[in-house]
């Protein structure tokens, strides 16, 4: 059985707390302090923050560790749900991978929106 380091747990917990606080603060700033000419971007910025909050929540609760050896990759959950039954474990690992890809793809949206706004 894999035993994660204390550094991994501390790092995950600190990133979870700081990420949640800064994303909530950014949502508040975007909602309350956005200038009039930036109003069209408000929904897109809030969308990225909400995706990051959900991703941090799932990542913080599962604390996955990826181990790659001899061409095989294994993802261990070392967080609060590390002893969960197999069907639910599969759902959590799938949601981690889905949210990771979603957060990467969500980074492109503001750039595409600005490009389409300028060119059309």
pLDDT of 1 > 70? The answer is no
Query: Which residue ranges make up each domain of the chain?
Result: 6-119
CB atoms within 10 A of CB 50: 13
Count Cβ atoms below 10 Å from residue 51 Cβ, excluding itself.
19
CA distance 101 to 20: 19
The more confident residue out of 28 and 5 is 28
Strand partners, 69: 72
H or E element at residue 40? none
CA dist list (Å): 24 to 35, 36, 119: 19, 21, 32
pLDDT tens track for 48-88: 899 999 999 988 888 888 888 899 988 888 888 778 888 88
**What's the average model confidence in pLDDT over 103-118?**
84
């Amino acid at each position: 059985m894999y035993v994660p380091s204390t550094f991994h747990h501390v790092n995950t917990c600190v990133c979870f707390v700081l990420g949640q606080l800064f994303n909530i603060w950014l949502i508040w700033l975007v909602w309350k302090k956005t200038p009039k000419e930036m109003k069209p971007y408000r929904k897109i910025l809030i969308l990225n923050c909400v995706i990051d909050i959900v991703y941090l929540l799932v990542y913080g609760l599962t604390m996955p560790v990826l181990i790659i050896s001899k061409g095989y990759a294994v993802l261990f959950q070392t967080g609060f749900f590390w002893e969960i039954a197999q069907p639910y474990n599969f759902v959590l690992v799938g949601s981690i991978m889905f949210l990771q890809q979603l957060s990467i793809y969500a980074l492109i949206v503001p750039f595409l929106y600005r490009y389409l706004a300028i060119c059309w």
